[in-house]
Amino acid sequence: MITDSVHGANLVDVVYGEVPAPGDPAEDFVEATKIRRDAMSWDAPGVRMLQTTPEMHPIIARAGQRHVSRARTELPAPMKVETSVADALDRRCSADGFADEELTLTELATLLRLAWEPRPGTGPASGTQPRRATPSAGALFPLELWVVVRRVEALEPGLFHVEMPDAGNASLTRISEVDHAALARAALQENMIENAAVTIVVSMMPWRSRFKYGHRAVRFALMEAGHLCQTLLLTASAMDLAARPLGGFCDDEVNGTLGFCGVDEVPLYLVPVGRGQ
């Protein structure tokens, strides 16, 4: 409904400040990622290739970072969560702050495994693409999960990569130390990052699905990040943990702090998690 205070004729000024000039990045992104029936073979070039090249199937099943030369911490089995979906939805809200307490390794494992572990019988060990609770276009999973640990039982603080190629194969690989103060400044909500026990980082590697879906792959990856983040948030809610999704941060500062290039791997979400105040 248009009110007297914001007339329809003024909406362009309110939204844009001025009429977008040709080459506006937001409009170009929407246009470039459209699917058109008469151009599908160009817009999604890899669909036909996958249909006609069986040799590609085991390759895409192995998609996902692995750090085999580094020490790994095996994640324990997840604890049983009894909370109903309705109760988890009812309790879900973005945390205003976190208590100065640690998480147990089992709690962190439960949060990560319920949200990201492949279903039994899927993944490279089974010769198939993984299937997870989070849907992915073509099951290509162009996302990666990272954990910035501050206070977790039995884990040294730092940046860890989450590796779950198959069901029952879940571990954390420590990659580096992290300047927590720099990450907190980059997040633009310093108290959230500084006080949380962990910060889960959802990053995008768009090239994993771009070969199949062209420019549309980026739109898919953004959707998938939302799916995954909501799964993490609802799981945290069901576990009675506090969490807050952060999507507005200084990208180059986050990239520099975590060691991402910002092109082949792009951070999309920072999700601080801990015990509520």
Q: Mind listing the pLDDT tens digit for each residue in 74-92?
A: 999 999 999 999 999 999 9
- Residue 51 has a CB neighbour count (10 Å cut-off) of 9
Per-residue pLDDT, 26: 87
Low-confidence ranges of the chain (pLDDT < 50): 1-2
Sign of the CA dihedral 105, 265, 243, 110? negative
Structure tokens at 101: 């307490």
Q: Mind listing the pLDDT tens digit for each residue in 149-207?
A: 999 999 999 999 999 998 999 999 999 999 999 999 999 999 999 999 999 999 999 88
- Residues with Cβ within 8 Å of residue 251, at least 6 apart in sequence: 262, 266, 267
- The CATH-assigned architecture of domain 20-274 is 3-Layer(aba) Sandwich (3.40)
What is the pTM assigned to this prediction? Answer: 0.86
Residue corresponding to tokens 């998609």: 63
CA distance to 31, 49, 60, 133, 238, per residue, from 45 (Å):
17, 7, 15, 27, 41
Per-residue pLDDT, 195: 93
Q: Identity (one letter) of the amino acid at 131?
A: R
Residue spans per domain, the chain? 20-274
